[in-house]
Amino acid sequence: MPYVTDDDSKAVQRITEIEQQLQEAKAKFERWLAAACTLTTAAELAQREQEGKILTDRLQALATTLELQRALASPTLHAQERALAKASPKKMKDFGYRPVTVQFLGGLEAEVLARYWCRSQARADKGKGGYFGLTLLGVCDRTTPALASEVAQLAAALMFLMLKQRDAVGLVAFDEKIRTYVPPKSASVHLHALLSTLSAVTPAARTHAGTALHEMAERIKRRGLIILLSDLWEDPSSVLTGLKHFRHRKHEVIVFHILDPTERDFTFPEEAQFKDMETGEEISTLPWQIRSEYQRTMKAHVERYKRECRQSFVDYVLIDTSVPYDYALFSYLAKRARLY
């Protein structure tokens, strides 16, 4: 059985600290609001507007942190953690609460205490464990490289939800070819294998989704629901042909097109140097001189995916990294409801 090296008093104390910080932040915001009503000059208004943004961001971060910390300290979640640890083939043990920084879509960060699970004290001292509670809540710690990306975080949340629905879930990671394939299973213990595989995935220099999609369409014999999470920064013709291959084989398909807001709007305020992450090519430019043309090209790029996915009866969902998980999860649930 897992054992605990410290009690829940640390988590309770942390909740109290966050509640106090939140009350102080609310009081500071109310003082700011009262002072802002007396301003007259444009310079004062601009300064106060910037201060207001900082204060509201602080309030949002503290409110989110408090909600997360309460969830991490709940007996219900701890019972789920123990069940996951017990089912793990590595016999994970509870080494008590540890401080951890977590990151959400949109860049919001929260400092919380979460239970740390590992196989042994020696491995725990070397940081070779994980936070089951964060995993179960669909949240990832900032220090895990692959899971720090929005795509991997969303994938983790979707896998958790699917297994809760008793659906069989598999995972494919690819660049120019398929690198990892985890066959679908519906057992709850399968989540650990999926997340372990996901955390080991590292970004590659180049991708070619079309090749991987065609290969998987031939490999997956049983009809099911295919979910593609990608920024789709490649030739649309290749990707769309691969998606149509799945439809030809009677699979249902959802595409989550995930972009950073600056990728969509190109809202860079000053001269910048841009580097192609695949080719390594670099260019320097004044963003405002090419913004309009960039936005037109981006709009055409997105509209093509949207139009041709619709024509092929593929669900297309455009998400930028400021959008919470629930929008994507609702899209999955809506598709599942139509199927079953």
Say if residue 320's pLDDT is above 50: yes
Higher per-residue confidence, 246 vs 82: 246
Predicted confidence (pLDDT) per residue in 67-91, tens digit: 888 888 888 888 888 877 776 656 7
CA-CA distance, 4 to 36, in Å (whole number)?
A: 50
Whole-prediction pTM: 0.58
Higher per-residue confidence, 216 vs 176: 216
CA-CA distance, 112 to 72, in Å (whole number)?
A: 9
Residue 117 and residue 81 in contact, taking contact as beta carbons nearer than 8 Å: yes
Predicted confidence (pLDDT) per residue in 120-161, tens digit: 887 777 767 778 787 777 665 544 433 345 677 678 778 877
Q: Which residues contact 277 (CB under 8 A, 6 or more apart)?
A: 203, 205
Please name which of 319, 325, 138 lies closest in space to residue 231, comparing C-alpha atoms.
Answer: 319
H-run or E-run covering 153: helix 150-164
H-run or E-run covering 298: helix 287-311
Predicted confidence (pLDDT) per residue in 247-282, tens digit: 999 999 999 888 878 888 887 777 777 777 666 778
Block residue for tokens 């977590």: 102
| Beta-strand pair 315-320/282-285 | unpaired
CA-CA distance, 233 to 277, in Å (whole number)?
A: 11
Tell me how far CA of residue 160 lies from CA of 59, 230, 244, in angstroms: 29, 19, 27
Say if residue 301's pLDDT is above 90: yes
Task: Report pLDDT for 226.
Answer: 92
Q: Which two tokens stand for residue 222?
A: 């049983």
Q: Which two tokens stand for residue 174?
A: 């690819």
Supply angle C-alpha 111, 114, 120, rounded to 5: 130
Which domains are assigned to the chain? 9-141 (no CATH), 146-339 (3.40.50)
CA-CA distance, 7 to 115, in Å (whole number)?
A: 10
Predicted confidence (pLDDT) per residue in 97-125, tens digit: 988 887 654 556 778 898 888 888 877 77
